[in-house]
């Protein structure tokens, strides 16, 4: 398994696209996808970032924060989405990156909600926190209410739950209660890597969402491109 060296990111992908999920759905954004994850979700659509059995697992580069800044600065966009894998495995490197980027940059971090974020990251970034529910079939512990509560202290923290079935919806409500998450920051997203699956899972939960105070959002990139990488 590759090692994360101090001062370096392991970069899996870098591309310019549209934010396909969450609170800033539809915003143009540059994505950096970091290598490695501390979970193993069964439906993960980026297994190439953490699964050594995936044929694309070894396609990553080691880059410094300033090298990342050089690469993202060529795009006509000042919104950066740091995704993975699990980006908070790189908290120190992300802090260095934040120090290099001018304040007008909007920065989002996609995290699975199992690792803490530093106060600087919580204040500077939009956190898109996606706790993993039963259908993700992880052996590791995926729900850490204390860490979720700490992440919720961020000035721009959103909780995004990917729902595949009734058991997921029930588990989501238990987590919201246990971690006392802000209900106006809950985004419910049907699981699916095809339009048909998104529709089926969305229709299965829409009536419950209507009376919950949560938001129901699709995965825009799946609707537009299907299950393709780097777009």
Q: How is residue 184 annotated by DSSP?
A: G
CB of 4 to ligand SF4, least distance (A): 15
The beta strands (E) that lie in the chain are given as 9-18, 28-34, 61-63, 79-83, 106-111, 126-129, 157-163, 186-190, 215-216
CA-CA distances (angstroms) from residue 88 to 161, 178, 225?
18, 23, 27
Q: How is residue 88 annotated by DSSP?
A: G
CB of 127 to ligand SF4, least distance (A): 14
Residue of 115, 65, 74 whose CA lies nearest to 94: 65
CB of 40 to ligand SF4, least distance (A): 5
Write out the binding residues for ligand SF4, residues 153-172 only, by CB under 6 A. Answer: none
| Beta-ladder partners of 158 | 128
CB 39 within 8 Å of CB 143: no
Q: Kindly report the CA angle at 151 between 228 and 166, in degrees rounded to 5?
A: 60
Q: How far is the C-alpha of 118 from the C-alpha of 147, rounded, in Å? A: 11
Write out the binding residues for ligand SF4, residues 102-131 only, by CB under 6 A. Answer: 112
| Of 169 and 191, CB closest to ligand SF4 | 191
| Of 21 and 169, CB closest to ligand SF4 | 21
Residues in binding contact with ligand SF4, number by CB under 6 A: 12
Q: Quick one: which segment of 60-68, 84-92, 164-172, 213-221 binds ligand SF4 (CB under 6 A)?
A: 84-92
Determine, following the binding rule CB under 6 A, whether residue 86 of this chain makes contact with ligand SF4: yes
| Of 12 and 93, CB closest to ligand SF4 | 12
CB of 12 to ligand SF4, least distance (A): 10
Choose, by CB under 6 A, the member of 44, 129, 175, 209 that binds ligand SF4. Answer: 44
Choose, by CB under 6 A, the member of 32, 39, 97, 127 that binds ligand SF4. Answer: 39
Choose, by CB under 6 A, the member of 12, 19, 24, 46 that binds ligand SF4. Answer: 46
3-state helix, strand, coil in the chain (%, to 5): 35, 20, 45
Return residues touching ligand SF4 (CB under 6 A): 37, 39-41, 44, 46, 49, 84-86, 112, 132
């Amino acid at each position: 398994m590759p090692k994360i060296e101090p001062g370096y990111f392991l970069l899996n992908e870098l591309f310019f696209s549209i934010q396909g999920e969450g609170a800033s759905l539809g915003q143009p954004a540059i994505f950096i996808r970091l290598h490695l994850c501390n979970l193993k979700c069964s439906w993960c659509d980026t297994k190439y970032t953490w699964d050594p059995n995936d044929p694309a697992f070894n396609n990553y580069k080691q880059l410094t924060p300033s090298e990342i800044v050089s690469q993202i600065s060529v795009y006509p966009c000042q919104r950066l989405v740091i995704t993975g894998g699990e980006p908070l495995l790189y908290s120190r490197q992300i802090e260095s990156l934040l120090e290099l980027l001018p304040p007008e940059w909007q920065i989002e971090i996609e995290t699975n909600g199992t690792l803490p974020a530093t106060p600087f990251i919580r204040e500077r970034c939009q956190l898109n926190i996606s706790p993993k529910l039963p259908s993700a079939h992880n052996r590791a512990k995926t729900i850490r209410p204390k860490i979720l509560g700490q992440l919720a202290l961020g000035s721009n923290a959103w909780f995004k739950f990917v729902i595949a079935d009734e058991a997921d919806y029930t588990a989501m409500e238990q987590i919201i209660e246990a971690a006392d998450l802000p209900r106006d920051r809950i985004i419910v997203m049907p699981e699916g890597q095809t339009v048909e699956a998104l529709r089926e899972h969305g229709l299965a939960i829409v009536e419950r969402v209507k009376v919950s105070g949560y938001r129901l959002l699709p995965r825009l990139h799946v609707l537009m491109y299907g299950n393709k990488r780097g777009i």
